[in-house]
């Protein structure tokens, strides 16, 4: 999970939610939304390389729909193709060594997805 600064300019990795069960995951996310006064939720949608929606994308959409029943914060999907690959490359470039921390890659990938949204948002 990633959050932006209050001005909506810079995205940063925030935390990793280790999927336990759907109810607990939703409670964790809603708590973070409230504590950080989140005004927009950006969800990475794992599209296939040809742009189609596969099984994992359908799971993400179903989870997001359930999350939406617990918060009034608007949700927008972003294509997340290659975000984890980009995150791994960024970590390798900045650390000078290969990192095998998948969870950390996912947090950085979330920040890259959010940053892409922020960079394209009107008024930025």
Q: Can you give the C-alpha Rg of the chain in angstroms?
A: 15
Place of tokens 């359908």: 58
CB atoms near residue 13 (< 10 Å): 19
Class of 2-120 per CATH? alpha beta
Residue ranges of the chain with pLDDT lower than 50?
85, 99
Report the number of secondary-structure helices (H) and strands (E) in the chain: 4, 4
Smallest Cα–Cα separation from 13: which of 84, 107, 94? 107
pLDDT of residue 99: 46
């Amino acid at each position: 999970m990633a959050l932006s600064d209050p001005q909506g300019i810079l995205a940063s990795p925030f935390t990793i939610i280790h999927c336990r069960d759907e109810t607990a995951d939703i409670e964790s996310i809603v708590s973070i939304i409230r504590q950080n006064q989140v005004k927009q939720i950006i969800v990475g949608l794992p599209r296939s390389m040809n742009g189609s929606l596969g099984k994992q994308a359908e799971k993400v959409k179903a989870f997001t729909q359930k999350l939406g029943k617990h918060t009034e914060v608007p949700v927008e999907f972003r294509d997340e193709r290659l975000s984890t690959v980009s995150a791994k490359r960024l970590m390798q470039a900045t650390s000078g060594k290969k990192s095998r921390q998948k969870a950390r890659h996912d947090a950085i990938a979330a920040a890259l997805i959010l940053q892409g949204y922020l960079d394209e948002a009107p008024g930025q």
